[in-house]
Amino acid sequence: MSESTLKEKTAKGLFWGGLSNGFQQVLNLVFGLVLARILDASDYGMVGMLAIFSAIASTIQESGFTVALTNKKEIRHEDYNAVFWFSTLTGVVFYLILFFCAPLIAKFYDKPELIGLSRVIFLGFLFGGFGIASNAYLFKTLMARERAKIDIISLVCSGSLGVVLALNGCAYYGLAIQTITYIGINSFLKLYYTPWHPTVSINFIPLREMFGFSSKLILTNVFAQISNNVFSVVLGKFNNPQQVGFYTQGQKWMGMGNQLIGGMINSVAQPILVQVGDDNERQRTIFRKMIRFGAFVSFPAMLGLSFVAKEFVCIFLGEKWLPSVPFLQLFCIWGAVGYLWVLYTNLLISHGKSEIYLYGVILTGLLQLIIVGAMFSFGIYPMVIGYIVVYYMSLLFWHYFVNKCLSITIFDILKDISPYLGSVFLSIAIAYFVILYIENIYITFLLKVLITIIIYSCIMWCGKSVIF
Instruction: Report residue 416: phi and psi, to 5°.
Output: -75, -35
Query: What SS3 string covers 320-384?
Result: HHHHHHHHHHHHHHHHHHHHHHHHHHHHHHHCCCHHHHHHHHHHHHHHHHHHHHHHHHHCHHHHH
Which ranges in 110-240 belong to alpha helices (H)? 114-121, 123-128, 132-140, 144-167, 171-193, 205-238
Q: What is the DSSP letter of 253?
A: H
Sequence-separated (6 or more) residues with CB below 8 Å from residue 228: 55
User: Is residue 245 within 8 Å of 43, Cβ to Cβ?
Assistant: yes
Provide Rg for the chain, Cα atoms.
22
pLDDT of residue 207: 76
pLDDT of residue 332: 92
Confidence of residue 245 (pLDDT cuts 50, 70, 90): confident
pLDDT of residue 115: 92
Confidence of residue 18 (pLDDT cuts 50, 70, 90): low
Mean pLDDT (whole number) for 63-71: 68
CB atoms within 10 A of CB 443: 12
Indicate if the alpha-carbon torsion angle 87, 91, 92, 93 is positive or negative.
positive
Mean pLDDT (whole number) for 332-356: 84
User: Is residue 411 within 8 Å of 283, Cβ to Cβ?
Assistant: no
Confidence of residue 347 (pLDDT cuts 50, 70, 90): confident
CB atoms within 10 A of CB 432: 13
Burial (0-12, 13-18, 19+ Cβ within 10 Å), 86 = buried
Phi-psi region of 59 (alpha: psi -120 to 50; beta: other; left: phi over 0): alpha
Confidence of residue 57 (pLDDT cuts 50, 70, 90): low
Mean pLDDT over all residues of the chain?
82
Mean pLDDT (whole number) for 210-218: 65
Mean pLDDT (whole number) for 203-231: 72
Mean pLDDT (whole number) for 143-155: 83
User: Is residue 293 within 8 Å of 241, Cβ to Cβ?
Assistant: no
pLDDT of residue 411: 92
pLDDT of residue 131: 82
pLDDT in tens, 168-195: 888 888 888 988 898 889 889 988 888 8
pLDDT of residue 23: 72
pLDDT of residue 427: 95
425 pLDDT above the threshold of 80: yes
pLDDT of residue 255: 78
For 99, 102, 170, 269, 295, the CA distances from 120, given in Å and listed in that order, are 9, 10, 13, 35, 40
pLDDT in tens, 132-145: 888 888 877 777 77
pLDDT of residue 329: 93
pLDDT of residue 268: 64
Highest mean pLDDT among 269-278, 313-322, 365-374, 451-460: 451-460
Model pTM?
0.70
pLDDT of residue 374: 86
